[in-house]
Amino acid sequence: MPVDHDDRLHDREDTAIDTAPVGLTRRGFSGGLVATLAILSSGCATISPSEEGKLGAEAAEEVERTVGLLSDPKLVGYVRQVAGRMAQVAKRTDVTWRFNVTDDIEPNAFALPGGYVYITRGLVALLNSEDELAGVLGHEMAHVLERHAARRAGAATPFALLFGIPAGILGAVSPALGGIVGGTGELASGMVLASYSRDQERDADQRGIALAARAGWDPAGLASFLHTLEREEALAGHDPNRPGFFATHPATPERVGNVRTAARSQTRATAAPFAGSRGAFLQKLEGLVVGDNPASGVFLGPLFVHPVFDVALEMPTKWKTINTAEAAGAVAPDGDAAVVLSLSGDGDDPVAAAKADGLSEAQLKQLQRVRVASLPAARLVADTRSGQRAVLTWIAHRERVFRVTAVARVRDWGRYGAILERTGGTFRPLLAADRERLVESRLRVRVTGANETVAEVLARGGGTWNPAQMAVANGTTVDAKLQPGWPVKVPVSQRYDASRG
Smallest distance, Zn ion to C-beta of residue 233, A: 16
Q: Which is nearer to Zn ion, 204 or 372 (CB)?
A: 204
Task: Count CA atoms within 13 Å of residue 264 on its CB side.
Answer: 5
Q: Which stretch binds Zn ion (CB under 5 A): 39-47, 204-212, 426-434, 483-491?
A: 204-212
CB of 262 to Zn ion, least distance (A): 15
Q: In this chain, which stretch among 82-90, 201-209, 384-392, 483-491 interacts with Zn ion, using CB under 5 A?
A: 201-209
Q: Does 173 contact Zn ion by CB under 5 A?
A: no
Q: Say how far apart CA 392 and CA 407 lie, in whole Å.
A: 9
Closest CA relative to residue 40, chosen from 123, 111, 106? 111
Q: Does residue 79 interact with Zn ion by CB under 5 A?
A: no
Do 187 and 329 meet the contact criterion of CB atoms below 8 Å apart? yes
For residue 487, list its beta bridge partners. 447
The window from 197-205, 273-281, 309-317, 398-406 that contacts Zn ion (CB under 5 A) reads 197-205
Segment near Zn ion (CB under 5 A); pick from 3-11, 75-83, 203-211, 491-499: 203-211
**Dist. CA 384–CA 70, nearest whole Å:** 39
Residue with smaller CB distance to Zn ion, 58 or 201 = 201
Cβ at position 117, least distance to Zn ion in Å:
11
CB of 143 to Zn ion, least distance (A): 6
Of the pair 20, 420, the CB lying nearest Zn ion is at: 20
Report the Cα 357 to chain-centroid distance in Å: 26
CA–chain centroid gap for 219, Å, is 28
CB of 302 to Zn ion, least distance (A): 37
The residue within the footprint of Zn ion, chosen from 70, 170, 204, 408 (CB under 5 A), is 204
Asked if 164 and 13 touch (Cβ cutoff 8 Å), the reply is no
Minimum CB separation of residue 77 from Zn ion in Å reads 25
Count of residues interacting with Zn ion (CB under 5 A): 2
- Cβ-closest position to Zn ion: 204
User: In this complex, which beta carbon is closest to Zn ion, that of residue 219 or of residue 467?
Assistant: 219
Q: How far apart are CA 178 and CA 361, in angstroms?
A: 11
Of the candidates 474, 448, 473, 472, the one whose C-alpha atom is nearest the C-alpha of residue 459 is: 448
3-class DSSP state of 115: coil
Q: Residue 148: which residues within 8 A CB-CB, separation 6 or more?
A: 142, 194, 196, 200, 203, 204
Residue 241 CB, nearest approach to Zn ion (Å): 19
Supply the minimum distance, in Å, between the C-beta of residue 208 and Zn ion.
8
CB of 148 to Zn ion, least distance (A): 8
Q: How does DSSP assign 166-191, residue by residue? A: -HHHHHTTGGGGTTHHHHHHGGG---
Beta carbons of 323 and 1 less than 8 angstroms apart: yes
- Which C-beta is closer to Zn ion: that of 85 or that of 139? 139
Residue closer to Zn ion (CB basis): 192 or 315: 192
Q: Which is nearer to Zn ion, 255 or 446 (CB)?
A: 255
- 142/156 with CB nearer Zn ion: 142
In whole angstroms, give the CA distance from residue 342 to residue 363.
20
Chain contacts with Zn ion (rule: CB under 5 A): 201, 204
